[in-house]
Every structure is written in C-alpha cells, then in structure tokens.
Amino acid sequence: MRILCTNDDGIHAPGLKIVEEIARALSEDVWVVAPELDQSGVSHSLSLNDPLRLREVGPRHFAVRGTPTDCVIMGARHILGETMPDLVLSGVNKGRNVAEDVVYSGTIAGALEGTILGIPSFALSQEFSMETRSAPLWETALKFGPPILRKVIDAGVPKNTVINVNFPACAPDDVAGVRVTRQGKRNLGFLKVDERRDGRGNPYFWIGFERLAQVDVPTEGTDLAALAARCVSVTPLRLDRTDDEFSQALTATLK
C-alpha cells in the first residue's frame, strides 16, 4: 500500500513525524509532501496565481511552497509519477479539528483533496490542553492511530467521505474508548480581534482566540463530547454539503 502524508503545520512540524510513524505501521511505501511554511487555517485553498516551488528535503520527503491542497495534488499527480497513492494521511495536527474547525482547517483540506482525487483519506489531529500545549501527548495518536486506520480501511471508506480522527489530550492509558461521532457545534465567542499599532502608529489586527469564562456542555454524540470524555473521535465527513431537507422545502416554495 502506497501512502501519501501531508499536513498544514509545515514540513518541520513534529506532528508530521508522528503521521509518518503511523503510516509506517501500515506500509513501507510512505511518501511525505508537506508545506514549506505553516499553513494552518488556510482551509481548502488552491494556488492558482502563484507558482509552486518544490524542494526535496530527503528520500521521499518533499516541501512545497504552497497549501496542503497543493501538496496533495503535487504528490499524487507529479511526485509519485504514474503510481497514485492508495491512502492519504493528513496531520497529525497540533490541536484538535472538530466542530467549525473542519471549515477552516488545512489538515482537513489535505484529506479532502485526497478524497476528491478518489483516494481514501484521513485527517488526524492531537488535542492538547493548557498543560500539554508545549508538549502534546503524541503517544496517544501513535498508539491509537494505526489500529483505528486498519479497522476503518477494512470496513471500506465510501468514495466521497473523509475520515476525521481526533485524539484526546490525555495519556494513552487514560483514553476511555473510541467513538464514532458527528460534527459538533460550539460557541464561537472565543474568537477575538486584537488591534495593535505599528512603529508609525498605524493600526493592524490579529485574529486570535481567548478562553471562555464558561464552556458550553457539548451535545452527546458529537466530536466535542467524545474528546471531553477522553475518547478518540472518528467522524465521517461527506464532500456533498447539500442540505437535502431544506432543498425539499425550497422546491415546494419555488414552484
């Protein structure tokens, strides 16, 4: 099995080494194509107006000056030649990708692009807490990643589905189980705009995050609830975003 690994944290991110270890637990034919620079939050952006620069950093390891989407396309359509990958693994992201994160995440986007190309694809993310922010518990992803991937692959990944896996912020022995979940929704009050001044007194802005005074209780069955319970969350995400229920209502309304 040929596996293509990518991420959005960049070619030197520690999580990329973790996803490569997970891949090597499944196969010896592993290729890494990752962004030259951190591309967190770029979502499913594709470079159309700027050229892509490719750099070989080691055997079967390449850096692309572009987005995770660019990396998967370059890997599958150019670097690997005529033999397409059998599996795409994107991650392991430093930080969870749940709820609305799936819209912004470059990690999710890498797996989405693999799915669009017809390749079974997984997005892998390691949650961290305030205590483990500087040193996420990568061993949790290492322990649970390979067996989960094997089971999902054996079950058969549907053609237009991405598998989003999030590992909880606890040691492997403290993981309470594995749950199949749906995408959650949370209070986005943690988003903030930080205004500052440059050396000439002109304003500039950072979009940032702050801790909420009170965190909402996550809805049972969601990715948020699974991580809160110290469970690995496995969420199948579909490429088709059509709202079938509202489509039926609109059809009746617009007749």
193 lies in some domain: no
Q: How many domains does the chain have?
A: 1
pTM, to two decimals = 0.94
Tens-place pLDDT, residues 129-138: 877 777 789 9
167 lies in some domain: yes
Range of the structural domain that residue 116 is part of: 2-184+218-253
Query: According to the model, what pLDDT value does residue 134 have?
Result: 77
What is the percent of the chain where pLDDT is above 90?
A: 89
Query: According to the model, what pLDDT value does residue 23 have?
Result: 98
Query: According to the model, what pLDDT value does residue 188 have?
Result: 66
Query: According to the model, what pLDDT value does residue 189 have?
Result: 63
Query: Does 90 appear as a known binding residue?
Result: no
Identify each DSSP E strand in the chain by its residue range.
Answer: 2-6, 29-35, 54-58, 61-64, 87-94, 121-126, 161-167, 177-180, 191-197, 203-209, 231-238
Query: Does 8 appear as a known binding residue?
Result: yes
Query: Does 129 appear as a known binding residue?
Result: no
192 lies in some domain: no
172 lies in some domain: yes
Query: According to the model, what pLDDT value does residue 132 have?
Result: 79
Work out whether strand 161-167 and strand 231-238 pair parallel, antiparallel, or are unpaired: antiparallel
116 lies in some domain: yes
204 lies in some domain: no
Tens-place pLDDT, residues 217-252: 899 999 999 999 999 999 999 999 999 999 999 998
The enclosing domain of 39 has a CATH number of: 3.40.1210.10
| Regions in the chain scoring below 70 on pLDDT | 188-189, 212-215
